[in-house]
Structure 1
């Protein structure tokens, strides 16, 4: 195969077709062929072989054999972090372009090209497909959030001198996406989004610089939309990350998160986007990233709209150019709504976290949970057990530090424009007063979600929660008895701000959300 580059998407498919015929002979089965703008993927019953096109485009150069080998190896290296069981190896393509075969790993002496060899996963297992068929379990999305938070925590950090994550680069990419869409859809269609972007950029430059300096710019996935997450071996696994352009991969971790939350919204699942964000923040603690999140979501929606405009009509049920533009506009509208603060009030086991989780999905809110932040103060993960680390996380000083952390996280989220729920017992008047003062200082509405259940129900719930061992809370019967003794009931002014909830029966979360949103 001669090493000539194509400057268009119409690269010579003869090698891919010849490989397809050879694999059909070897396996005795039909072999599928899927084409993207930069690769061909051959699908046998059990394996997938990804062959990079010999193209030179503005964003990628696969024109030489050496480059294709390098980027095959990069694809394997990078994707094995998040999907180790999916990516098997890089194999040489040997023989001739008319009669090729897949060689053995490492035997590259006579290679005419290279392929990434992968396991083939069953049809219908992509995250977008699971959502469309109603097969996705919430626990799977929660696990994905935990996986991504761990991946970002362990990912290499970009040096500030690298320029990755710099404001000028972010501005350049978002404006390029807008220019491309203006050419495809007409300037008027994206004029309002352009004005919003131009209005936000000056105020975010310092935030982007700060994110660089605190190490939030890391080697991420870079292309984390719903078609690049697959259910494999019972878990959701991101795959097919950006291997060909470091600038698209070395990004703020919140840009990675924004791609997934945006695409959930574009597919009609705003509730799941906020569920995912809640779980990601629970495991990462990166509330400092909230000021840049919405901008990144709009940018990601513009990018997907741009890609859709190049690919033509989408398949049934998949977002197209207009869907992604509407998604960006909805994110902008939500950003213009007045944020508000809600704190919970109730004994352990009264249902605070359960109701708060329902409300955050309905309201598009950010939650801060004392059970999680209390452990973070001590460097523990949400599901760690403090006794295993020989620390007492319930001392007065630990409580003071916990509430200070909750207040700072709430301030960041409110100033970023999100409704905020602070999920804690708030049994002392002084604790409640501090958060009311925070809302007053920001001139925002404040309310108290006042939850009740019978003592017998409280004890029963705590016993079940402790037996399950899958919740951040460590409050048990002894803690509950202490709470009975020291709780300070709401006073008259607080009762006027309260939304009462009896949790013996399942509360109507939609009605509670409407009540909260109506408070001024």
Structure 2
């Protein structure tokens, strides 16, 4: 795509290229710069000089952004600093004027600015998540960072228009507009199918999208959260390069932001860690209401990636080999998006067992094999009383373990299970389910939604249960506060599975090695 000039005096593309060439000279910098390295994207030039990186915005208008005047580029440099200091305060140092002449520029020099640059602390490129192996522990840390960020950022004003169904659908359709010219034949038909699916889903989900806006889920997010914009610097999770150039692309539903990173992890061959990220994030924030929108946003995010590739394919200077590589990458994102449109048949999975039987550990292990979402009664009970998962219930106002509190907890789990199943995920409801009255509504939910229900009857000898609870309480690292007294009460009052429930039941002895692959087959067939 060619750049369009803003129509008045300003930096032309050829002038900009001369300036970048001048900035490749170490003498342009007020500090030791060494060998200058340049990184180019479709909207910016980044110059790596010594301990710092300088990011300049190209004088382009791509429709979804307009950098065609110096005034606009300065404004968006300032916005980039403001927005990215929220998640990477040590990385974003300020905005530097570039003065002098195009062929002999000076960073931070005196005189009339030719241009402006965002000054950043430089870090090794192998710190990027896109260049290093991922671990479960690291994904948990990222989920916790993102969840905390989403909790504290501003909510869109109700009259802003952000997050409305038209505001959600517009950028989705814009992606297809950019991609269409790059495709022919069967690939063009695939794009039209994806566009039709997007319109249909967005229309069907419009009431849900509106409700999300009304309930405060449209926030000033990062907007471009994927592995390439996350680094581990000094052992800290640093999320950088958020969207500054278009407020409509960052004032979005938090689930849209989550969808981008999940899509990126799945595309990169990390489906298990993608599920882990989603589950950890949801456990912290409790936003299961966003799940019915997740596939719509995952398709959108896959098409955002495809659009960036399409823009690159439209550039005149692209070589034949690069065009071939980009074409294959574009086709890969089309296939990924198509996978998200395929209907799934979810299963409602209930755990049933005494405290200490290993229900939560089993449910978490199953997530490595099932596209499921785990919801825990211990976590949701505390959430109902305004407590975090690891908080002591003594901090709550009132007793959180009364019969009334239990009834509210199971009702919350039922509502969350409905959202998970509607979204097409297996719902793993991790609770004791000691009473028939607790199990019955969930079985009815499965009938209403036309999905199967399975009950995992998790068992271990009483002596093992008491020992596990004592060990867990000493460790103090679990949301559950059950102890020997709780277990004794459960043993005295538990109601066995009915004949009908036993037909849905799979017994699991957690003192023995569990073949999770075999168990998953038994659950889903």
What is the TM-score when the length of structure 2 is the normalising length?
Answer: 0.90
**5+ unaligned residues in a row in structure 2: which ranges?**
1-7, 314-321
Q: Determine helix, strand or coil for the equivalent of 1:363.
A: coil
User: Does 2:328 correspond to 1:324?
Assistant: no
| Aligned partners of 1:5 and 1:56 also within 8 Å | no
Change (3 A) 1:454 1:74: same
Matches of 1:237 and 1:420, distance apart in 2: 32
Q: Quote the residue 1:276 is aligned against.
A: 277
Q: Summarize deviations over 1:56-82 as a string: whole Å, max 9, x none.
A: 332222222222221111111101111
Q: Quote the residue 1:84 is aligned against.
A: 89
| Aligned partners of 2:59 and 2:67 also within 8 Å | yes
Q: Quote the residue 1:381 is aligned against.
A: 388
User: Does 2:406 correspond to 1:414?
Assistant: no
Q: Quote the residue 2:404 is aligned against.
A: 397
Change (3 A) 1:138 1:24: farther
| Aligned partners of 1:4 and 1:64 also within 8 Å | yes
Once the two structures are TM-superposed, the CA of residue 229 in structure 1 deviates from its matched residue by 1.3
**5+ unaligned residues in a row in structure 1: which ranges?**
none
Query: Which segment is superposed worse, 374-383 or 359-368?
Result: 359-368
User: Does 2:35 correspond to 1:30?
Assistant: yes
Once the two structures are TM-superposed, the CA of residue 3 in structure 1 deviates from its matched residue by 5.6
Q: Quote the residue 2:150 is aligned against.
A: 152
Q: Quote the residue 2:245 is aligned against.
A: 244
Once the two structures are TM-superposed, the CA of residue 387 in structure 1 deviates from its matched residue by 2.0
Q: Quote the residue 1:470 is aligned against.
A: 477
Q: Quote the residue 1:117 is aligned against.
A: 119
Matches of 1:219 and 1:295, distance apart in 2: 20
Change (3 A) 1:438 1:28: closer
Once the two structures are TM-superposed, the CA of residue 389 in structure 1 deviates from its matched residue by 4.2
Alignment of 1:7-46 (within 5 A): 12-22=16-26, 26-27=31-32, 29-46=34-51
Q: Summarize deviations over 1:93-143 as a string: whole Å, max 9, x none.
A: 233333323328xxx86433222121222222222222xxx3x22122112
| Aligned partners of 1:258 and 1:293 also within 8 Å | yes
Alignment of 1:88-487 (within 5 A): 88-103=93-108, 110-130=112-132, 134=133, 136-186=134-184, 187-312=188-313, 313=322, 320-333=329-342, 336-389=343-396, 391-487=398-494
Q: Quote the residue 1:4 is aligned against.
A: 10
Matches of 2:153 and 2:33, distance apart in 1: 42
Q: Number of residues paired by the alignment? A: 506
| Aligned partners of 2:347 and 2:451 also within 8 Å | yes
Once the two structures are TM-superposed, the CA of residue 401 in structure 1 deviates from its matched residue by 0.8
| Aligned partners of 1:314 and 1:320 also within 8 Å | no
What is the TM-score when the length of structure 1 is the normalising length?
Answer: 0.91
Once the two structures are TM-superposed, the CA of residue 233 in structure 1 deviates from its matched residue by 2.4
Q: Summarize deviations over 1:348-389 as a string: whole Å, max 9, x none.
A: 222211221222342211221111110110111222222244
Query: Which segment is superposed worse, 316-325 or 447-456?
Result: 316-325
| Aligned partners of 1:182 and 1:189 also within 8 Å | no
